[in-house]
Chains A and B, each alone.
Chain A
Amino acid sequence: MWLNQFLILGALLFCIGVYGVLARRNGVMVLMSIELILNSVNINLVAFGAFNGTPVGQVFALFVIAVAAAEVGVGLAIVLLIYRNRTSIDLDAADLLKG
């Protein structure tokens, strides 16, 4: 198998995730798009690990999974807080800090 087929699949998923982050205004959907981005990175890490024949790629993927779990937990808690204070999870409307 070519290395590039995994890398290009990762790049495609990454770009779909970037589109989702930019185009969505629902906070939960933005977090789902971030999950797509993190998974594309994991594909790259594991593919490079297999390419170089080391388990280090897998170790990094494991740490990314652990960090992603923490990120989703805190991110969704923030979205819930926004929802509770504004009864809406429209991220475009949460612009209190705008000057």
Chain B
Amino acid sequence: MVAQNIFFGIIAFVMVVAALRVVTTKNIVHAALYLVIVLAGVAAQFILTGAEFVGVTQILVYIGAVVVLFLFGIMLTRARIGREVEVDNEKRWLAGLVALVLFAVMSFALVDAFEDSRIESVSGGTPQLTSEVSDAIFKDYLIPFEAASFLLLAALIGAIVVARRE
């Protein structure tokens, strides 16, 4: 119980630092690599909550594929290496204020609503099985599942049409 909280704290700290670097670093390639740390941390948090399958999916799809897409996007949109001169706009203090106020409101609401509710299944030590996830998809969420394939088809066709040079 204590060990889990220690691991949670370490991973959460690394994630928050890396996320802050993603939104503040001047070098866009570094931003993509810090994003990898955040995504890996999210996968570790999923495993801590017992959601093994989603954790593996996170690594497979995000770190394995989406980050590659980002790196190709970076390579296609920049013709020079090094620091970008102007990656932030001049309203970033206002943006920081918005984010701080939003976080204050959200954390107040969360602490108010779920004072000390605990996640029981984690301390009970039962991971959620992949077959349970499968049952939920193929019984209750069958239509969203088929719609997801259609969405991916539409996204691929749209991206090919937009990105391809005629």
Touch A–B, Cβ below 8 Å: yes
Which residues from chain B contact A76 at a C-beta distance below 8 Å? 69-70, 72-73, 159
- From A18, A72, A77, A90, B102 is in contact (CB under 8 Å) with A18
Most buried by A among B15, B72, B111, B140: B15
Q: How many A-B residue pairs have CB under 8 A?
A: 252
Least CB separation from B19: chain A residue: A16
A24 touches which of B72, B89, B136 (Cβ 8 Å): B89
Taking residues whose C-beta sits less than 8 angstroms from the other chain, chain A's interface range is 35 or more
| Residues on A with beta carbons closer than 8 Å to the beta carbon of B4 | 1
User: Do A15 and B23 touch across chains, with their CB atoms under 8 A apart?
Assistant: no
Pairwise interchain contact B77-A8, C-beta atoms closer than 8 A: no
Q: Which of B46, B94, B152 has the most CB of A within 10 A?
A: B46
A57 to chain B minimum Cβ distance, whole angstroms, is 7
With a cutoff of 8 Å between Cβ atoms, the chain B residues found around residue A24 in the complex are 23, 87-89
Is B98 an interface position by the 8 A CB rule? Answer: yes
The verdict on A94 contacting chain B, using a C-beta distance below 8 Å, is: no
Query: Are the CB atoms of A47 and B121 closer together than 8 Å?
Result: no
Asked whether A1 and B95 contact (CB < 8 A) given A17-B23, A35-B35, A53-B120, the answer is no
Smallest CB separation, A76 vs chain B (Å): 4
Q: Could you tell me if A16 and B23 are in contact, using CB atoms closer than 8 angstroms? A: yes
Chain B positions 107 through 141: 1 when the CB is less than 8 Å from some CB of chain A, otherwise 0: 10011001111111111000010001101110011
